[in-house]
Amino acid sequence: MLREKVLPSGIGHTTNCFCQVEGVDGHEAYLVKEGSEEKLNVVSVQQLANALSQEKLNESSLIRIFWPRERCSLLRDDVVFMDSPGVDVSPNLDDWIDNHCLNADVFVLVLNAESTMTIAEKSFFHEVSQRLSKPNIFILNNRWDASANEPEFQESVKAQHTERCIDFLTKELKVSLQKEAEERNRYFEFQDFERKFEECISKSAVKTKFEQHSRGGKQIAKDMISMLDNIYDRASCLKTQKLDHRRILIERINNTDQQLAQVTREMKSKIHSMVEEVEQKVSKALNEEIWRLGVLVDEFPLPFHTDPVVLNIYKREMNSHVEQGLGSNLRARLSTAMAMNMETAQREMTEKMHSLLPSDMLNQKVSSFAVRQQPFEMFYTLNCQNLCADFQEDLEFRFSWGITAILQKISNRMKDKKGNDKTLMITRQSSQNSLPPVMSPISDQPDGANCVVPYGGSSITPEQLSLISNMMVATMGSHGTVGGIIVSGLLFKAIGWRVLVGIGVAYGCVYLYERLSYTNSAKKRRFKSQYVKHATKKLKLIVDLTSANCSHQVQQ
């Protein structure tokens, strides 16, 4: 087939290892040993691969021979030849098949025409047939020239070889049909064998090698198609179920969202109502406690002393006592009711949230909500220390019936009546047009003087009334000695000196009594009275702020 004698041949066992012939571009041929990249002369193959040579390689070794493609037509089609040492010289047939025969497309069994097919050769191809799906096997009988000495048996031996080879291929290996085997028996010339061999390589090698695998692959593909169809049907059914379940879940979620929004609106409205109610209750309770502040201040037990250092401590403790008392009273009045309202609102909120959860979540006990574990407690920030920090007591003795005190009282009353007087003046102005004039001119009086008509049963003229009013205002406006002298003179002239002396003695007794009774207890009462007025004024300023702060606590 290579058109040259390259591989070892001759009488007896000649090939010592596997020889692989591959096509290569170029004009020079070379060989490469297994495990080496050194290019050797092709002539060396007669020494390396020949079993008769002294330098012997392992029977499983491989020598790669690179032969020019232009010198062999089969090598141009990327055909690779593999020459084995012989199937009857080594017991390691399985290793040979695994290492060198699994990729073979065509097997050529060369038999010696002087003998028949051996058991070892049959066993080798039985192994090959089990490993490969359907090996393509050619059987060649050579050395027919040895039968030239016995021409009378030549035809009988040829018929025997033909019958046994055909039976081996068709009945034992079952790799060929009877007709195909008989046709191959007609290749008397080597040129016909080469043509048939090339046709087999180009057309049927792959088919014969992979036919069983192809059938298995087709069956696997059919099974896979059936399995995939089943998976597709199940997936389609599951998809439909999941889509329906998804639609149900979306409807449930939308319904839950609507219910949750409704619950949120209801709870916000309830919280808003609670906040307003708390703000009103705190404001009312704080105002009532401020109105009762005098009682709380009277309960302060710390001893009183007018020393500045002690008095500062007394005021500081008083502020703490008032702050604690107000806070305690507010908690006693409001905290219990507020805590109950808070617990009721939280319980209602929790129950409404439980009603929104699906039953499976309730069964799994995953419906725990973060509810306040401790009872709600309101914090009232009054901070009396800062509120009453500017409190300045006035503990000097002041006579309650002194001129200054009396004038101050009169002044305060006049201020209180001032607004009422303005209202009365507006009313009188609206009615003056319907009243007769107080003064009317009379022509028979001298010099055109006006005659005064008594008004309201009194003989005081308007000029005298105006003079007295101006004098009283001037007298009350001057708090000094001049005012006292004027008042004393008027009284002395009006009632006499004896009455005036008696009034003075009584006035002095009252003064002496008040002066002697102005003790530490009186100072304490006066201090607490001043503190109550000041603290009341300051605490009223923070009523709205405190109630708003409490309502914010409830809202949070």
Question: With bands split at pLDDT 50, 70 and 90, how would you rate the model's confidence at 127?
Answer: confident
Tokens 């010099």 correspond to what residue? 447
Tokens 């009183």 correspond to what residue? 304
Q: How confident is the model over 80-99, as a mean pLDDT?
A: 73
Lowest mean pLDDT: which of 148-157, 181-190, 342-351? 181-190
pLDDT digits (tens, 9 = 90+) for 493-529: 666 667 767 777 776 787 777 667 667 778 888 888 8
- Name the more confident of 275 and 204: 275
Task: Using the predicted structure, report yes or no on whether residue 536 has a pLDDT greater than 80.
Answer: yes
Lowest mean pLDDT: which of 100-109, 296-305, 307-316, 496-505? 496-505
Average pLDDT, the chain: 75
Question: With bands split at pLDDT 50, 70 and 90, how would you rate the model's confidence at 88?
Answer: low
- Name the more confident of 16 and 366: 16
Look up the pTM and report it. Answer: 0.42
Question: With bands split at pLDDT 50, 70 and 90, how would you rate the model's confidence at 421?
Answer: low
CB-CB contact of 266 with 260 (8 Å): no
State what percent of residues in the chain have pLDDT above 70. 69
pLDDT value of residue 170: 85
DSSP codes of every residue in 210-233: HHHHHHHHHHHHHHHHHHHHHHHH
pLDDT value of residue 236: 95
- Name the more confident of 248 and 452: 248
Lowest mean pLDDT: which of 310-314, 315-319, 376-380? 376-380
pLDDT digits (tens, 9 = 90+) for 175-220: 778 877 776 665 556 667 777 777 777 665 556 556 677 788 899 9
- With 0-12 / 13-18 / 19 or more C-beta atoms within 10 angstroms meaning exposed / middle / buried, residue 137 is buried
pLDDT value of residue 335: 79
Task: Using the predicted structure, report yes or no on whether residue 439 has a pLDDT greater than 70.
Answer: no
Lowest mean pLDDT: which of 48-57, 326-335, 376-385, 450-459? 450-459
- For residue 231, what are the CA distances in angstroms to 217, 240, 245? 20, 14, 20
Task: Report which secondary-structure segment, H or E, holds 530.
Answer: helix 520-541
- Name the more confident of 100 and 491: 100
CB-CB contact of 87 with 119 (8 Å): no
Task: Using the predicted structure, report yes or no on whether residue 260 has a pLDDT greater than 70.
Answer: yes
Q: CA–CA separation, 97 vs 102, rounded Å? A: 6
As a residue count, the chain comes to: 556
